[in-house]
Chain A
Amino acid sequence: MFYREAGQFKTSYAADQALLPIRQDRIGLGLILFVAFVAIPLLASDFLIGSIMIPFLVFALASVGLNILTGYAGQLSLGTGAFMGVGAYSCYKLTTYFPDINILFMVLLSGVFSAAVGVVFGLPSLRIKGLYLAITTLAAQFFLEWCFIRIGWLYNYNDSGAIEVPQRKLFDIAITGASASPTVRYLVIVVLVSIMTLLAANILRGRIGRSWMMIRDMDIAAELMGVRPLYAKLSAFAFSSYYCGVAGALMVFFWIGSAEAEAFDINHSLLVLFMVIIGGMGSLLGCFLGAAFIWVLPIIIRAVPPMLGLDVIAATTEHVSNIIIGVLIIFFLIVEPHGLARLWQIGKEKLRTWPFPYSSN
């Protein structure tokens, strides 16, 4: 009753092909954007912005990157963390070499390096598939992690071995470094993530995105129909790594402030993979739902015992949250392999027919 397209007539092809053809969707997205751009910066506490919203957006962007590769192009990857690391380290190098150039430009440029590395490690995908490929992405993970530790040039031969974010300004407001306020950093991230997600949505429904999905669904058939696997697979690796690289740069520059190689280890890769699985493979909405779920759930679990007046050691809650996330992953794979996004889809279908579920629309 509330959610249906009845009465919304399209009079042009452009309107018919719009990203959000249903008015209710547009209103919903508008509300979400209003909350993200206006309500949260004005109303939310520093904790909510700094510890929940910023990480959530960073992970959502990384999930978009991994989802492009795994969900849309069907190439399973366990090396997301390392590609994020490439973005972070190249952004650090760029901004220390050229301190005067706008940091936002550097963040976007650093993704290019990540994309290049992604293409190199994507080359085996032309010859090998599935689980074998997943293991070769482990080679990327461990090799790059080793580079971050051993190649001093990458972190300017710091004694600490960590990259530390210098202060950079935009319109005379500090947006990175210790003195940048969480609200400012949040605004930068939310703008970038929104634009990049919009871009991803359009790439995915365009020619390139559809060729990725053809490769995913059946590569031989796709090849027979004129999709070149070389271009499709490598472009998927490039786009995916670009998104992951930008997410990594954002993570270090706008969230944690300094990072060592351990920040990009295999567990980090798996975390992003969980977000994609739980959120839903092959769904942009799922990236956001999964990132929110996986990031916020442990915070809630940590907050529950004190609320109940129980005195539980921090380590215990972490172990329990590990168990719960593990169980949830298995549960979701069994009950709904398409993730949270699919649940949302089902909910919308129900809404369309409500209150007459047996009517044919």
Chain B
Amino acid sequence: MDILHSIFVAPFIEMGAYPDFFLQVVWEGFVAGVLYSLIALGFVLIYKASGVFNFAQGIMVVFAALALVSLHGMGVPAWLAVILALGIMGLLAVGVERLVLRKLVNQHDAILLMATIGLTLVLKGLGQLLFGGEPKPMITEELGLPTGSTDWEVFGGIVIFQHIDIAATVVALLMVLALALFFSKTRIGRALRAVADDHQAALSVGISLHQIWAIVWFAAGIVALVTGIMWGARSEVSFALEIIALKALAVLILGGFTSIPGAIVGGLIIGIGEKLFEVYWGALFGSGVEAWFAYVLALIFLLFRPQGLFGERIIERV
């Protein structure tokens, strides 16, 4: 009975008793969720356009952020460093398309996944070789990102909003809007959607697959850089981020591999869910449940809805 009480009753009483603390936890989870969504967004972009499940998205985030910080460390002004880092991601996109994707066209999903695992190793080694393996602080102020915090008095307590968290949310929102506009209004965006729908049909109306793949990897690179900046500003830029980025995979399961709204909603569910679980139920299991909560939630979810929240229905034909 005791255990049932501590699972089903006590946490909710605690939530009700200290609503300000509850709000704080939800906000923290929300911001973490925004960042998970951003990583998942990179996955979805690439998966939709090329059918590649890009395991390297996490390391791309680290790589882009490290490139930015290291360039700035070499004395390059911040704005130029951002442009150069974007250039590096662009080169990477073209390189991946030329050297990997083009040669692996029409291969099985699993083969492509493994190729991106190989790419992960290359980027990891390259990043450590070029930029060093030690954690670096993000150049928050040089990029004009706000620091400091605002207190909001509510329910007889205060909720603290870090400005960088607010900025991260706004930037993420802007980026999703920009991507949505890009996909629906521009010529390239429409070509991207055509490729995502049907490779062969897209080819037959004269869309270059190679070009589209390079562009979409570049777009994922931009998303990676933004994610890296935001995440780096909240903690620091290090290779540990790569493991955390794997949580985006759980987000994808919730949202479905092909849905951008799914990636966002899934990210928020995972972010808020794991923070609440850690804070209110974590003590029951011993702390550190954040490490697996996302995956187990995704696994349970999958048993009921294999295609994710917004994913396309999986239809199998024989």
Please list the residues of chain A having a beta carbon within 8 angstroms of any beta carbon in chain B. 76, 124, 127-128, 130-132, 134-136, 138-139, 141-143, 145-146, 149-151, 220-221, 266, 270, 273-274, 277, 315-316, 318-330, 333-334, 337
Chain B minimum-CB-distance residue to A147: B292
Rounded to whole Å, the gap between the CB of A341 and the closest CB of chain B is 16
On chain A, the residues within 8 Å of B243 by CB distance are 266
Answer whether residue B91 sits at the interface, using C-beta atoms and an 8 A cutoff.
no
Contacts A326-B120, A330-B118; A76 near B113 (Cβ below 8 A): yes
Contact B118 A323 (CB under 8 A): no
Answer whether residue B3 sits at the interface, using C-beta atoms and an 8 A cutoff.
no
Residue pairs across A and B with Cβ atoms less than 8 A apart, 29 shown, are A76-B110, A127-B302, A132-B253, A132-B302, A136-B295, A136-B298, A136-B299, A138-B249, A138-B250, A142-B295, A150-B286, A150-B288, A221-B318, A266-B246, A274-B117, A315-B133, A316-B129, A319-B124, A319-B125, A319-B126, A319-B133, A320-B129, A322-B128, A323-B121, A323-B122, A327-B122, A328-B118, A329-B121, A330-B118
Provide the bound-state CA to CA distance between A329 and B107, in Å.
Answer: 15
Provide the bound-state CA to CA distance between A320 and B257, in Å.
Answer: 33
Rounded to whole Å, the gap between the CB of A32 and the closest CB of chain B is 28
Please tell me which one of the listed residues B114, B123, B285 contacts residue A329 in the complex, with CB atoms under 8 A apart.
Answer: B114
Chain B minimum-CB-distance residue to A322: B125
Chain A minimum-CB-distance residue to B128: A319
Please tell me which one of the listed residues A130, A149, A270, A328 contacts residue B109 in the complex, with CB atoms under 8 A apart.
Answer: A130
Provide the bound-state CA to CA distance between A320 and B127, in Å.
Answer: 11
Contact A220 B316 (CB under 8 A): yes
Q: Is chain B's binding surface mostly helix, strand, loop or mixed?
A: helix
On chain A, the residues within 8 Å of B318 by CB distance are 220-221
Please tell me which one of the listed residues A138, A323, A333 contacts residue B111 in the complex, with CB atoms under 8 A apart.
Answer: A333
On chain B, the residues within 8 Å of A220 by CB distance are 316, 318
Chain B minimum-CB-distance residue to A328: B118
Q: How large is the interface on B (under 10, 10 to 19, 20 to 34, 35 or more residues)?
A: 35 or more
On chain B, the residues within 8 Å of A270 by CB distance are 117
Contacts A124-B299, A130-B110, A136-B302; A326 near B119 (Cβ below 8 A): yes
Cβ contacts B203-243/A at 8 Å (1 or 0 each):
00000000000000000000000000000000000000001
Please tell me which one of the listed residues A130, A273, A324 contacts residue B117 in the complex, with CB atoms under 8 A apart.
Answer: A273
On chain A, the residues within 8 Å of B114 by CB distance are 273, 277, 329, 333
Rounded to whole Å, the gap between the CB of A252 and the closest CB of chain B is 22
Answer whether residue B303 sits at the interface, using C-beta atoms and an 8 A cutoff.
yes
Rounded to whole Å, the gap between the CB of B253 and the closest CB of chain A is 6
Answer whether residue B306 sits at the interface, using C-beta atoms and an 8 A cutoff.
yes
On chain A, the residues within 8 Å of B104 by CB distance are 333-334
Contact A135 B298 (CB under 8 A): yes
Given A319-B126, A323-B121, A330-B100, list of 4 further CB < 8 A pairs?
Answer: A131-B109, A221-B318, A316-B129, A333-B115
Answer whether residue B71 sits at the interface, using C-beta atoms and an 8 A cutoff.
no
Contact residues, B90-114 vs A (CB, 8 A): 99-100, 103-104, 107, 109-111, 113-114
Contact B53 A145 (CB under 8 A): no
Answer whether residue B252 sits at the interface, using C-beta atoms and an 8 A cutoff.
yes
On chain B, the residues within 8 Å of A124 by CB distance are 299, 302-303
Contacts A131-B257, A277-B114, A329-B114; A143 near B129 (Cβ below 8 A): no
Contact A146 B253 (CB under 8 A): no
Answer whether residue B296 sits at the interface, using C-beta atoms and an 8 A cutoff.
yes
Rounded to whole Å, the gap between the CB of B294 and the closest CB of chain A is 8
Contacts A139-B296, A143-B292, A333-B104; A315 near B303 (Cβ below 8 A): no
Contacts A131-B257, A139-B292; A323 near B298 (Cβ below 8 A): no
Chain B minimum-CB-distance residue to A266: B243
Provide the bound-state CA to CA distance between A328 and B119, in Å.
Answer: 10
Please tell me which one of the listed residues B103, B119, B125, B296 contacts residue A320 in the complex, with CB atoms under 8 A apart.
Answer: B125
Please tell me which one of the listed residues A130, A135, A149 contacts residue B295 in the complex, with CB atoms under 8 A apart.
Answer: A135
On chain A, the residues within 8 Å of B306 by CB distance are 127-128, 132
Answer whether residue B291 sits at the interface, using C-beta atoms and an 8 A cutoff.
yes
Contact A326 B122 (CB under 8 A): yes
Contact B129 A323 (CB under 8 A): yes
On chain A, the residues within 8 Å of B99 by CB distance are 330
On chain A, the residues within 8 Å of B160 by CB distance are none
Answer whether residue B23 sits at the interface, using C-beta atoms and an 8 A cutoff.
no
Chain B minimum-CB-distance residue to A152: B286
List the 3 shortest-distance A-B pairs measured between CB atoms, nearest first.
Answer: A326-B121, A322-B125, A329-B118
On chain B, the residues within 8 Å of A130 by CB distance are 109-110
Provide the bound-state CA to CA distance between A94 and B31, in Å.
Answer: 45
Rounded to whole Å, the gap between the CB of A238 and the closest CB of chain B is 19
Contact B124 A322 (CB under 8 A): yes
On chain A, the residues within 8 Å of B288 by CB distance are 146, 149-150
